């Protein structure tokens, strides 16, 4: 590796199949700039350290002036997908060199990035959209940079999580960001069952092809809670659908093609009055006489806001009592 001073030279890294290759370039101070409001704005060299920079989730106008200054002023931008992120930098006339940093190359890219940080250089970490580390790569880089004594500097901004939350019309005083649920039904329902009694609004990311199945499982495990489905936030075809989980599950069940990034927001469980144990057993016995055990448990759990696991255990006890 060629060791360089921070200025006026820097190193461009291009990631290949098996290694990083460096090329010495010179960068003039006038190259550190960006376009805004129809003008070319100068940017000072960024402070040494790792800058975790939020970028637009859709509308390019949502980027902050500070983010533009940092991206124009750092020595290198680490991007999840350089081809995608160059649309942003090209739009704002930013010429800072860029290298990929994602889950598939992090084992090789991270040591190189840390070496540059240790030399006193400035790096910006961005994801494809929104705030890095939220269901995006970068966690280990931040941890290891901090362990080296590198200053990690957040540059807050757009986030699909917060955008969907504030537009959902649901309580925001306490919320839990779960990220992506398991892709398979069994794992997804087990996780939802564990979250059923969390006294907070729940926020999930979901892939378009799994939205209908996910909403169905949400309705089964959490009951008819108020919820919203936010899609394509800040983009041309932005939609925010609100309703009960039951209604939303039905609404999306017949939709064959769904596109865009999706955020599901689910309201917290309502406080339920204590249910008399004997009455609960009577209701469950009646349901078991007309439904399968699985359906009876789901109905009773949703009716009283109880964890399905507890209701299922009670159903097994009733079944054993009948056969004894």
Per-residue pLDDT of the chain (324 residues; tens, 9 = 90+): 323 333 333 333 333 333 333 333 444 666 799 999 999 999 999 999 999 999 999 999 999 999 999 999 999 999 999 999 999 999 999 999 999 999 999 999 999 999 999 999 999 999 999 999 998 889 999 999 999 999 999 999 999 999 999 999 999 999 999 999 999 999 999 999 899 989 999 999 999 999 999 999 999 899 889 999 999 999 999 999 999 999 999 999 988 788 888 999 999 998 666 667 888 888 888 888 888 888 888 788 777 767 777 788 888 888 776 654
Say if residue 167 is in the same domain as residue 151. Answer: no
So what's the pLDDT on residue 158?
96
So what's the pLDDT on residue 29?
66
Instruction: Answer whether residue 271 is part of any domain.
Output: no
Instruction: Answer whether residue 315 is part of any domain.
Output: yes
Which structural domain, as residue segments, surrounds residue 120? 9-158
pTM for the model: 0.77
Q: What is the DSSP string of 60-74?
A: GGG--HHHHHHHHHS
Query: From the CB of residue 231, how many other CB atoms can be counted at a distance below 10 Å?
Result: 21
So what's the pLDDT on residue 15?
33
Distance CA 212, CA 199 (A): 25
Instruction: Answer whether residue 57 is part of any domain.
Output: yes
Query: From the CB of residue 291, how many other CB atoms can be counted at a distance below 10 Å?
Result: 14
Say if residue 58 is in the same domain as residue 73. Answer: yes
Distance CA 48, CA 131 (A): 20
Rg (CA), the chain: 25
Of how many residues is the chain composed? 324
The enclosing domain of 66 has a CATH number of 3.40.1010.10
Total domain count for the chain? 3
Q: Which of 140, 158, 176 is the last residue of a domain?
A: 158
Angle (nearest 5°) at CA 45 between 33 and 108? 100
Say if residue 24 is in the same domain as residue 148. Answer: yes
Say if residue 100 is in the same domain as residue 151. Answer: yes
Distance CA 298, CA 312 (A): 9
């Amino acid at each position: 590796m060629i060791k360089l001073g921070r200025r006026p030279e820097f190193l461009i890294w291009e990631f290949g199949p098996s290694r990083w290759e460096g090329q010495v370039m010179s960068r003039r101070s006038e190259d550190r700039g960006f376009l805004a409001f129809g003008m070319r704005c100068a940017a000072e060299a960024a402070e040494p350290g790792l800058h975790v920079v939020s970028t637009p989730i859709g509308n390019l106008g949502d980027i902050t002036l500070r983010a533009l200054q940092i991206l124009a002023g750092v020595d290198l931008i680490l991007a999840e997908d350089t081809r995608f992120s160059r649309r942003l930098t090209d739009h704002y006339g930013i010429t800072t060199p860029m290298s990929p940093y994602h889950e598939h190359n992090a084992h090789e890219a991270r040591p190189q990035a840390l070496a540059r940080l240790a030399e006193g250089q400035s790096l910006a970490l961005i994801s494809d959209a929104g705030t890095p580390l939220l269901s995006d790569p970068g966690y280990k880089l931040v941890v290891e940079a901090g362990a080296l004594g590198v200053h990690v500097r957040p540059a807050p901004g757009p986030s699909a999580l917060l955008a969907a939350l504030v537009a959902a019309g649901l309580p925001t005083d306490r919320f839990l960001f779960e990220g992506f649920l398991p892709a398979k039904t069994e794992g997804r329902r087990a996780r939802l069952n564990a979250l059923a009694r969390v006294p907070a609004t729940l926020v999930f990311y979901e892939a378009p092809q799994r939205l209908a199945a996910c909403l169905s499982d949400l309705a089964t495990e959490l009951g008819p809670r108020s919820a919203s489905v936010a899609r394509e936030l800040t983009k041309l075809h932005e939609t925010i659908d609100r309703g009960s989980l039951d209604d939303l599950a039905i609404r999306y069940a017949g939709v064959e093609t769904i596109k865009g990034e999706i955020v599901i927001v689910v309201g917290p469980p309502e406080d339920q009055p204590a249910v008399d144990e004997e009455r609960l057993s009577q209701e469950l016995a009646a349901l078991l006489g007309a439904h399968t055990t699985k359906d009876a448990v789901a109905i009773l759990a949703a009716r009283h806001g109880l964890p399905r696991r507890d209701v299922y255990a009670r159903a097994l006890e009733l079944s054993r009592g009948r056969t004894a």
